[in-house]
């Protein structure tokens, strides 16, 4: 029974460690880089706060990765 108890304890410990890793620091407030203006998004991009990070998305009419955005002309071709 000693080995079974040890295995069960290790299993529970592993589960606890993995759960804490997924949950992150419970109780720690997430910084909102967008509202604090600490993001590095391009001036022509929108900042979107995410848990523990942020995303930069180019505004409509612009293309790029959000950290660099370039305007593009709409095609004047008629279909």
* Closest CA relative to residue 39, chosen from 51, 50, 31, 47: 47
Neighbours of 23 (CB within 10 A): 8
Top pLDDT among 70 and 27 is at: 70
Give this prediction's pTM: 0.55
pLDDT tens-digit map of 51-69: 999 999 999 999 999 999 9
pLDDT tens-digit map of 8-26: 565 444 544 444 444 555 6
- In order of start, what are the domains of the chain with their CATH numbers? 2-68 (2.10.25.10)
Residue 20 CA to residue 61 CA, distance in Å, equals 42
pLDDT of residue 28: 79
């Amino acid at each position: 029974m000693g080995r079974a108890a040890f295995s069960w304890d290790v299993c529970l410990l592993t589960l606890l460690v993995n759960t804490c890793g997924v949950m992150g620091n419970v109780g720690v407030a997430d910084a909102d880089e967008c509202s604090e203006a600490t993001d590095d998004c391009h001036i022509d991009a929108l900042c979107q706060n995410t848990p523990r990070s942020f995303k930069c998305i180019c505004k409509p009419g612009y293309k790029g990765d959000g950290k660099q955005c370039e305007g593009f002309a709409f095609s004047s071709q008629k279909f």
